[in-house]
Amino acid sequence: MRWRLGRDSLWRWLSGACVALSLLAVVALLALIAVRGLAHFWPADIERLTLENGQQVAGIPRGGEAETRRYFTANRDLDGQVWRWIAVDSIVERETPASLVYVQRRDWGPFIGRLAAVTTPAGERLRGDAAESRLHQALAGDAELATLSLHNVEGRDVTLPFAQVQSLAWPNRMHVGDKLLAWVDGVWRFLSEAPGDGRVEGGVWPAIFGTLLMVILMSLVVTPFGVLAALYLNEVARQGPVTRLVRIAVRNLAGVPSIVYGVFGLGVFVYGLGGQIDRWFYAEALPSPTFGTGGLLWASLTLALLTLPVVIVATEEGLARVPGTLREGSLALGATRFETLKRVVVPMALPSMLTGVILAVARAAGEVAPLMLVGVAKLAPEIPLDGEFPFLHLESKFMHLGYHVFDLGFASRDAEAAMPLVFATATLLVAVIVVLNLTAILLRHHLRARHRALERS
């Protein structure tokens, strides 16, 4: 008996240890992604290197090996590349001069160099301290500028229209407090602006909005259909071979690869239903499709179909846990079957229904494969919501955080430069999923507590 108790205790400790290790691994992974993503917005010091051959290079160190170091040198329009590996033995001098400026441009990416002069709309050309003072006023909105004259450490000149300047800073002059403010501003720009040139510059606001809107629309569709299907299977349908076969089919649908649902959505929703809507209501616009192409509506319906088995299974499990005596007691007191479902069965199974919705939201928010076929876009800077009727344009293409991660990491012109944004976007996607799940979980706990209070009364 003692040996048996000791063995049971050992298995409990092993189970607890496995759970703890799993949680630790998840937390460590999320921390790694968050640190590498959020560190991208911290203004790092710019180094100016003098090499053995007399050449000067300016860049931000980004790791490397014992014998070579990798530097982010920017200036794609001048050098054709933004990364450079430099042998440590070839570096004669390394310094961080205060005059080096980091300019984030809307096109061509960042520029690293020096500010030579600024030109006002009246044609006045300012240099030195006067140029920097006027530039700060322009960045604050208190003055206007026409162009900036910049040159890299090798003396090559670049003329940049001020309208192309997204942000500008002298990192080597900044203290910790200044860098913290710049970091907050960078994160805010990332969250509130649309993607820029090559989707590496700018922010991800359209992707945030598209992800949230698609998940909300999907939830509005899948919740009533999933709950009604579960109620029919568990409470209305005659229990027999056909009902068991339907349950098996529903559970098997939960394991179908998501890309299959994407193909189904493309064929049925986009080409079938969307094409028919175009022929009925938008014939004058043909052959240009309106609803007969991928869009927000078809993506939401496809993901609703994808997550429908999850909601059905979770709801059925909740309904099965409601004691049969409660149903019989309600009917014995004169309530109809509909009243019994409405006032007894559904309220008690509501937490399980919300559990199904939570699982559906978590899966839908992270799905990418089916969206590639039914409406997601690489770049859609305008959100599908405006002041024109019908205000919410369900036929519009949209951006999605999950697809944006894929596009930045594998389809951008410089995957290496985009990697910090991949981590930042992945962190944001996880945060969005957590917020959506926490909202549903809090609602579930509120309803469960309310139901228990009603039971006591």
CATH of the domain at 328: 1.10.3720.10
Residues 361 and 420 in one domain: yes
Residues 186 and 209 in one domain: no
Q: CA 348 → CA 22, 266, 326, 354, distances in Å? A: 32, 38, 10, 12
Q: How many structural domains are present in the chain?
A: 2
Residues 237 and 159 in one domain: no
pLDDT one-digit tens code per residue, 84-109: 889 888 889 999 999 899 998 887 88
Q: Which of 159, 192, 225 is the last residue of a domain?
A: 192
DSSP summary character for residue 86: E
Q: SS3 for 94?
A: strand
Provide CB contacts within 8 A for 407, sequence distance 6+: 199, 378
Q: SS3 for 258?
A: helix
Q: CA 328 → CA 345, 363, 412, distances in Å? A: 11, 37, 63
Q: Which of 165, 192, 219 is the last residue of a domain?
A: 192
Would residue 315 count as lying in a domain? Answer: yes
Q: CA 442 → CA 140, 227, 311, 355, 438, distances in Å? A: 42, 20, 18, 11, 6
Would residue 199 count as lying in a domain? Answer: no
Residues 89 and 235 in one domain: no
Q: Which residues of 398-414 are buried (b: 16+ CB within 10 A; e: fewer)?
A: bbbbbbbbbbbbeebee
pLDDT one-digit tens code per residue, 201-230: 678 888 889 888 998 899 899 999 998 998
What gap in Å lies between CA 170 and CA 301, rounded to an integer?
49
- pLDDT-wise least confident of 186-190, 212-216, 414-418, 439-443: 414-418
What gap in Å lies between CA 181 and CA 169, rounded to an integer?
12
Position 1 pLDDT exceeds 60 = no
Residues 211 and 301 in one domain: yes
**Is the pLDDT higher at 62 or at 457?**
62
**171 pLDDT band (50/70/90 cuts)?**
very high
The pLDDT of residue 199 is 58
Nearest in space to 56 (alpha carbons), one of 86, 89, 82? 86
Position 455 pLDDT exceeds 70 = no
Would residue 372 count as lying in a domain? Answer: yes
pLDDT one-digit tens code per residue, 130-155: 888 888 888 877 878 888 999 988 88
Half-sphere exposure of 62 (CA within 13 A, CB side): 21
Q: Compute the average pLDDT of residues 333-349.
A: 82
Q: Is the dihedral of CA 431, 432, 434, 438 positive or negative?
A: positive
Would residue 347 count as lying in a domain? Answer: yes
Would residue 7 count as lying in a domain? Answer: no
What gap in Å lies between CA 135 and CA 141, rounded to an integer?
10
* Alpha helices in 282-400, H assignment, sequence order: 296-320, 324-332, 337-340, 346-366, 371-374
The pLDDT of residue 104 is 85
Portion of the chain with pLDDT greater than 90, in percent:
11
Position 445 pLDDT exceeds 50 = yes
Task: Extract the tokens encoding 168.
Answer: 């500008």
Residues 423 and 384 in one domain: yes
Residues 119 and 215 in one domain: no
Position 2 pLDDT exceeds 60 = no
Residues 215 and 78 in one domain: no
Residue 122's domain spans which residues?
47-192
Would residue 332 count as lying in a domain? Answer: yes
The pLDDT of residue 180 is 92
Task: Extract the tokens encoding 223.
Answer: 């919740």
What gap in Å lies between CA 196 and CA 31, rounded to an integer?
27
**Is the pLDDT higher at 10 or at 92?**
92
Portion of the chain with pLDDT greater than 70, in percent:
94
Biggest CA pair distance of the chain: 97
Would residue 31 count as lying in a domain? Answer: no
Q: Are 148 and 159 in contact (CB under 8 A)?
A: yes
Would residue 66 count as lying in a domain? Answer: yes
Task: Extract the tokens encoding 153.
Answer: 């450490």
Residues 164 and 224 in one domain: no
Q: What is the mean pLDDT of the chain?
A: 84
Q: CA 171 → CA 41, 59, 83, 115, distances in Å? A: 12, 12, 19, 13
Q: Which of 192, 223, 240 is the last residue of a domain?
A: 192
Position 453 pLDDT exceeds 50 = yes
pLDDT one-digit tens code per residue, 355-404: 888 888 888 888 888 888 888 888 777 888 777 777 788 888 888 888 88
Distance linking the first and last C-alpha atoms of the chain: 45
Residues 237 and 143 in one domain: no
The pLDDT of residue 430 is 87
Task: Extract the tokens encoding 116.
Answer: 């030579």
What pTM does this model have? 0.81
Residues 185 and 260 in one domain: no
Task: Extract the tokens encoding 41.
Answer: 């917005």
Position 235 pLDDT exceeds 70 = yes
Note if the bond before 351 is cis, omega within 30 degrees. Answer: no
| 186 DSSP β-pair partners | none
Residues 258 and 169 in one domain: no
CA 223 to chain centre: 23
Task: Extract the tokens encoding 118.
Answer: 């600024």
The helix (H) or strand (E) run that includes residue 345 is none
In one-letter notation, the amino acid at residue 298 is W
